[in-house]
Amino acid sequence: MLSDEVVCGFGGTGNWFGSQTFGMEPDMLSIARGLSSGHLPIGGVIISTRFSMRR
């Protein structure tokens, strides 16, 4: 499962990520705005070890 944290990540909902607010444990998090405070066009994906170890 992929959680889009571009808008609600990095404290937007009171927790570090919006998925924590709803008790979700996604395999991947897409992140962007919190990396550069919206000043640079930068983004990324955080992948859990649980996902990357699957074969």
Res. 55 pLDDT band, cuts 50 70 90: low
pTM confidence score:
0.67
**Given this model, what pLDDT does residue 11 score?**
75
Whether the predicted pLDDT of 7 surpasses 80: no
Q: Which of 40, 12, 46, 6 is nearest to 26 (CA)?
A: 46
Residues 10-32: pLDDT tens digits?
777 888 888 888 898 888 888 88
**Given this model, what pLDDT does residue 37 score?**
75
d(CA 51, CA 55): 9
